[in-house]
Structure formats: structure tokens, C-alpha cells
Amino acid sequence: MIRPATDADRPALEVFLARHANSSMFLRSNLEEVGIGNADHPHGTLYLLQMAGERVRGVFGLTNEGFGLCQAPEADAGVWADFADAVRGRMVKGITGPDEQVGHAIAALGLSKAAFTVDAVEPLYRLDLADLILPDGPCDIRAPQTLDVETLTFWYLGYGRDTGSMAGPDATTRAIERAVNAIQGDVTRVLIVGGRPVAMTAFNAQFQDMVQIGGVYTPDGQRGQGYARRVVAAHLAEARAKGTKTALLFSNNDAASRAYEAIGFQRVGSYRVAVLHVTVEIGA
């Protein structure tokens, strides 16, 4: 019933994930970025398939970074137990996906509630970019530059503090790594007001003409001025001009939700993000 995916399974896997597009962006983005069977790239993913004949009925992914990715709406307790057996001996640091499915995965993997730094059910939003509402006020954005590395490091530390996603003695090191990666990549944008950066946003997953937004942050002293909605809207307008048609995101607080709704996002469900205090070996 449960087996690892091979390259021959890719067409059937893509058809299945397309039917659950709103909550499958990490699975789809990783598949497009590095394919099946990549053991080196951080986003390389072990795809475990729940099969019914030749049809894919469910997927559990585990990335090389240790993040579990759920999309198995028909799985029963036996299927979740089989998924857990299939990843025994592998390292896991977090699980994301539809709320109920993440709960089943946590139970099957034998992880206690106390093991998690973050375990949040967040509203899931979608926007057809033809309906994007550009807010009033300047929306000048640019890619981050080398001169922004210190600013971005402090912002990622603040983002990690606010979301609970970056704790522990290595938090500063990880924040620096994220800042450097943001500068070297092309998925992050900063909003410029009065000649200086005041907020940031990024895409944390991309698939064909869809993007998923993540890493939206405004530092404490700049909040309440509409910067988050302006930086997100400007980034999406830029993406729309390049052919992107749809945006998705999940929101971790009410103020953020209001900002996203103000530029046209509509809620389409819930999404759960669970991050462990420390990476654990399944079955150890």
C-alpha cells in the first residue's frame, strides 16, 4: 500500500497534487525544483505514496532538511502507521500540511505535544492575482543587497522570535545564513521608505504559475503603517508581470490576516505548522 515514489510515478503524483493545490505547495515546489530521489539538496524529498492500483491516493514527503509534508486526505490509521514505519531511522525537525493530517502524522511518529516549539493551525489564503488590490502609498521594493546583511539578520531573529521558529543557541547563526541566502537568491524583496528598508517578504515555494508567500516581517518600530501589505502587494505585482497567476499563504496572526485580506486574499482553509524543539530520529 505504501511505497517510495520513482521517476515513473511523477505524472500520477503531479495529477494527485494538482487536485489539492492549495495545501501542496511545498510538495509541488520541491518536485519541480529537484525531482524525485535527490539526496543532496536541502529540498530533496522522499515521496512515499499511498496507492490504489495505479492511482496515487496520498503522499507523505520527508525532505533532506527533515521536514515532513502531508497530503493524504483519505489515509486511515493503518496508512499513517505505514508512513511512520517507512521513515523509521530518519531525522525529523517539523511537519506541515492540512491540520488533521499533521495531527495523524504526529501521533503515528510517536511525537509528544511537549516536543514541539511551534504547533499552530493557521488560516490558509489564496489570491487570483488578477484580483490583487494595490494599497495606497509608495510600494518601492528591491532585492536585498550585501549592505542589508546586518539588517536582515536582526529581522530574521525577530521573525523567529515572533513565530517561535528560531530558538536555541544557534539562532543567530541560522539568522545569518538566512540573510546570506536571501541576498544570494531571488525570492526575497524589501520595501524601501525614505531610502531605507522597512519590511520584507519572500516566496517560500513556487510551482509553475503559482507562488507561496512566507517570511513576511516588519520590525517592531515600523509596524502599524501598512508596510506588510505594501511589500507583499508590490512583490506579487512584480510576479504577476512575469506570468504568475495565483498566490497562496498561511497567516500566523490576526493583524497579518487583515493585511492580506486588504490586498484581496480570501481564506480557503487551514494549514498546520509544527516544529520540534530539536531534530529527532524516528523510532529511536
Summarised one tens digit per residue, pLDDT across range 97-124 is 999 999 999 999 999 999 999 999 999 9
- The verdict on 187 and 80 lying in the same domain is no
pLDDT computed for residue 178 by the predictor = 94
- The verdict on 55 and 162 lying in the same domain is no
- The verdict on 69 and 141 lying in the same domain is no
pTM of the model: 0.94
In a domain, 128, yes or no: no
Q: Which of 52-56, 75-79, 131-135 has the lowest mean pLDDT?
A: 52-56
- The verdict on 257 and 137 lying in the same domain is yes
Check residues 136 and 259 and name the one with the higher pLDDT.
259
In a domain, 268, yes or no: no
CATH of the domain at 147: 3.40.630.30
CATH of the domain at 30: 3.40.630
**Domain count for the chain:** 2
- The verdict on 76 and 149 lying in the same domain is no
Enclosing domain of residue 226 = 133-263
- The verdict on 223 and 251 lying in the same domain is yes
Which three-class secondary structure string do you get for the chain?
Answer: CEEECCHHHHHHHHHHHHCCHHHCHHHHHHHHHHCECCCCCCCCEEEEEEEECCEEEEEEEEECCCEEEEECCCCCHHHHHHHHHHCCCCEEEEEEECHHHHHHHHHHCCCCHHHEEEEEEEEEEEEEHHHCCCCCCCCCEECCCHHHHHHHHHHHHHHHHHHCCCCCCCHHHHHHHHHHHHHHCCCEEEEEECCEEEEEEEEEEEECCEEEEEEEECCHHHCCCCHHHHHHHHHHHHHHHCCCCEEEEECCCHHHHHHHHHCCCEEEEEEEEEEEEEEEECCC
Over 80: is that where the pLDDT of 166 sits?
A: no
- The verdict on 26 and 101 lying in the same domain is yes
With cut-offs at 50, 70 and 90, classify the pLDDT of residue 248: very high
Over 90: is that where the pLDDT of 54 sits?
A: no
pLDDT computed for residue 170 by the predictor = 84
pLDDT computed for residue 112 by the predictor = 93
- The verdict on 69 and 24 lying in the same domain is yes
- The verdict on 139 and 102 lying in the same domain is no
pLDDT computed for residue 161 by the predictor = 87
